[in-house]
Each structure stands twice: as C-alpha cells, then as structure tokens.
Amino acid sequence: MQPRATPGNPGAPVGSVLSKRPHRPATYQKVLDARKQPVRGLWVRKGRYYARLAIPDPDTGVTKVRRVPLEAAKTDAKARAALGRLRTQREDQDLPALREAPKLKDYVAEYFIAIKDTKRPGTITTERANLNAWIDQIGEVRLHHINRAMVNKFITRRLKAGANPRTVNLAVICLRNVLKRAIDDKWIKTLPTANLKPLKWKAKKRTLFADAQVEEICAAAFRPVFAGGELAKPGEIGAPLKNAQQFADFVRLLASCGSRMSETLRLKWSDVDWGISQLTVGSDGLAKNYHERKVDFNPRLKAHLIDMQTRRAPDSEWLFPSPQRGERDERAKSFRESLLLARAAAGLPEFGFHDCRHFFISMCVMSGIDYMTIARWVGHRDGGVLIGKVYGHLNDEHAKRQAQRICFQPSPATPQTDKPHVV
C-alpha cells in the first residue's frame, strides 16, 4: 500500500491528495475526503492547508476568489472544520481579514497619519514615545499575532527597567488605541488587552506651597541675579529677567484662578468679562476636556486682572503676548525657562506651574467652598469627586485647626451680662 500524502509528507505518492502535477509538490494540491473525492475549496501546499473562497470586496463589492491560509489546521479533519467556519462567517458577513495583516511598526505609521488632525500635538508626542517602546519589542509582529503573553512580557520588562506603574498603564492604553483602530479596519477581531487590569500605583504627594512662597517665586524674577540665561556667577554683573513682570503676572494668575499652564497662555482680553465678573477659560475649544468654563472673580483674581490691564499691550489681544511678535499678534509660547531661573534664585527647586493650580484648589477647599463649585471653576467634569478624593484631607485638617480656636472661657475683660439658665 502506498503511503498517503499528508501536510507533513507532501512529497509522498498521491493517495488522498489529487494533483495534476505530482512531480511538483510545491504546487497547490486538492485534498480528498474518505471516499477519495476532492473536498471543494480545500487545498494543501508545502504542508500548509488553504481554503479557496469567493469573497466580495468590502470596498468595491466585487467578488474575488482567494486562497486563505488555515494556519491552525494541522490535519485534514481540522482543515475541513476551519473551511466550514469560514463559509459560515462569509454568510454572516463576519469574515476576519483574509489578507496578510501588517506588522505593528507599519500599522503604527498609518495610525499617526490618520490621527494627525484629530488629536493635539502634545497627545501625539506622548503616544509616539510609548508606541516606540512597543515597536522596539514587538514591532515585527503582525497585528493578528499580538497576544496577551506579549503584552505581559512588555509590562514586566518596563517595570524591571524602573518605569512607574502609571507610565506602563499609559503605554498599554496607547497600544490599545492602535489595536482598536485595527479592529475598525478589520485586521483583528478582539483586543489582546481585553480585561487587562491596570497596574496599581500611588500618586506622589504634591507639596503644598504657601502664599508667601508663590510670591517669593515672583519676586525672584526681579532680582538682579541673572546673566546669560543662568544665575550670575560670583563677581559677575547680574540683571532681572527680561520678562520678569510678564512672568510674575502669569504665576499670580495661575494661583488666583487655578487654570492650567497651556490654557492660561491662550487667554485673550475678550475672555475677561468685567460686567459679570467672570474669566472664561478654554473659549478656543482647546481646553483639556474641550469645554470652556467660567471662573467667577474672587477678590485676588479681580485685583490682579485690573492690575494687569494697566500694562496691557495696545497692539495685542492676548493677556500674555509674545515679546518677539513683531507686526503679528502672537501669544507667548512658554515661561518654562524663566521658571527654572526664578525658582533657582528663590531656592524652591521643586516649584512648578501646576503647583499654582494645586495651591488654588487647596485654598478653596480650606476656605470651605463646596467641591462641586471648585470643580466647575477648575474644569473637572465629575462634580467634585476627584477633588474630594485628593483634597478632602485638607478640609479635615482645616476643621481641626479651627476647632482649636474655640474658647469655652470668657475673656476676663468681657463682662458676663447674660447668665445661662441651669436646669
């Protein structure tokens, strides 16, 4: 009896495989059933099974005949079962991508082209950095071959390298964004990150700077201690920062309204409504959550805006116009370099612009303002839940300090005119 040709032995004499060219085993050969009849639509080549299907193109509607590799099939029976599933999926219009999926590195390049006009430049920069880390590890893997084991291996490597769990979670989110798009493009059907729980992490406790320290940062910008973009060396003639006043105005505004750095740089004088005593943040639609918000004037905010208005540039609509704007009305792009110098001169190396937002929210909480109102001012859309979690302890500490001020003994100089009635 002649040996039967099988995927593991494709060069054997033809038994259950029918071939027009038995002397060329590298060509496609029909697979036979138990009755020695060809299985319609099932072929084998070089030990690999293929399904031959007529499939309508989803874009053009034109039906084309394709040979689809049945990668998981290792026997005739499993190949026939896989062929049957494909036919059922075709009838249900639920076929997976039947052409070769791109490698992750190539699809990431397509992804960035697709999102370049839908996400902020800063967001794209963050995603690119995280996706480059994925490409370094699994960039050559095709999309449909990415699995949970690869994801877990990536997470383990990043943690061993000293990455913060929050940073690793962000990297997983970036990969998930790409793979969700791959689902939309019919390259894959499920996410390998499905039901993956994020790593637990504890946020670093941010220093609460006092009002005097915020003012110290502003005052440091006016001191004649800077030369050549750094602190003056001993014996070197120093000078204040060139943009000392604008920098100080920026810091004080952040601390008196709780706005973020980037959205504060985009404020215009048309955002200041003197009639209803409100400052509109995010009127350009570029705030973090794409919604503008109204910050009601508090005494310090109002006084600061009035003071700034006395120095308003007559040829600019911006609260913080660029000193190098020339004939074009452009806003300042950043005060980071000034911050680095000012905080070095003030001896407060950990101070950052976001600490001003932290300062504002903290002062609001300790002043007894309800969390929902604070959330509306600073642009949180959770009704104050996050503020309660992060800043609730300040309310408790403030209440404890106030409790110590209660005096149950009248002052000796205070006459007791009303005596309590004792029952």
Asked if residue 78 belongs to a domain, the reply is: yes
Q: E strands, 48-196, where? A: 48-56, 63-69
- Residue 227: enclosing H or E segment and its boundaries? strand 226-227
178 and 276 share one domain: no
Report the residue count for the chain.
423
Last residue of some domain: 69, 91, 113? 91
CATH assignment at residue 356: 1.10.443.10
216 and 349 share one domain: yes
Asked if residue 372 belongs to a domain, the reply is: yes
Asked if residue 341 belongs to a domain, the reply is: yes
CA distance 363 to 379: 16
Provide the β-strand partners of residue 273: 278
156 and 75 share one domain: no
The total domain count for the chain is 3
**pLDDT per residue rounded down to tens, the chain (423 residues):** 444 445 444 444 444 444 444 455 568 888 888 888 888 888 888 888 888 877 766 556 677 777 777 877 888 888 888 888 877 777 666 665 556 789 999 999 999 999 988 888 888 999 999 999 999 999 999 998 899 999 999 999 999 999 999 999 999 999 999 999 999 888 888 899 999 999 998 777 778 899 999 999 999 999 999 998 899 999 899 999 999 999 999 999 999 999 999 999 999 999 999 999 999 999 888 777 778 999 999 999 999 999 999 999 999 999 999 988 878 899 999 999 999 999 999 999 999 999 999 999 999 998 889 999 999 999 998 888 988 888 877 777 777 777 887 888 766 665 555 555 554
* Nearest C-alpha neighbor of 262 from the set 386, 162, 123: 123
60 and 133 share one domain: no
Asked if residue 408 belongs to a domain, the reply is: no
Please, are residues 179 and 191 in contact by the beta-carbon 8 Å criterion? yes
323 and 176 share one domain: no
CA distance 378 to 257: 8
Asked if residue 423 belongs to a domain, the reply is: no
Pairing relationship of beta strands 38-45 and 278-281 according to DSSP bridges: unpaired
Asked if residue 332 belongs to a domain, the reply is: yes
114 and 219 share one domain: no
**Distances, alpha carbon 393 to alpha carbons 47, 389, 390, 396, in Å:** 68, 8, 8, 5
154 and 62 share one domain: no
324 and 179 share one domain: no
Last residue of some domain: 184, 219, 250? 184
298 and 340 share one domain: yes
- Terminal C-alpha separation, the chain: 116
CB atoms within 10 A of CB 166: 14
Please, are residues 308 and 249 in contact by the beta-carbon 8 Å criterion? yes
Last residue of some domain: 91, 114, 141? 91
CATH assignment at residue 159: 1.10.150
CB atoms within 10 A of CB 339: 19
Report the SS3 class of residue 268.
strand
Asked if residue 419 belongs to a domain, the reply is: no
CA distance 343 to 11: 78
261 and 361 share one domain: yes
CA distance 34 to 403: 90
Q: Which pLDDT does position 12 carry in this prediction?
A: 43
Please, are residues 118 and 77 in contact by the beta-carbon 8 Å criterion? no
CB atoms within 10 A of CB 358: 18
Q: Which domain holds residue 42?
A: 17-91
Rg (CA), the chain: 34
171 and 120 share one domain: yes
Asked if residue 389 belongs to a domain, the reply is: yes
The pTM assigned to this predicted structure is 0.63
* Nearest C-alpha neighbor of 331 from the set 266, 416, 423: 266
Angle between helices 244-257 and 336-346 (to 10 degrees): 90
* Nearest C-alpha neighbor of 313 from the set 329, 302, 301, 335: 329
Q: Which pLDDT does position 13 carry in this prediction?
A: 40
Provide the β-strand partners of residue 45: 48
64 and 21 share one domain: yes
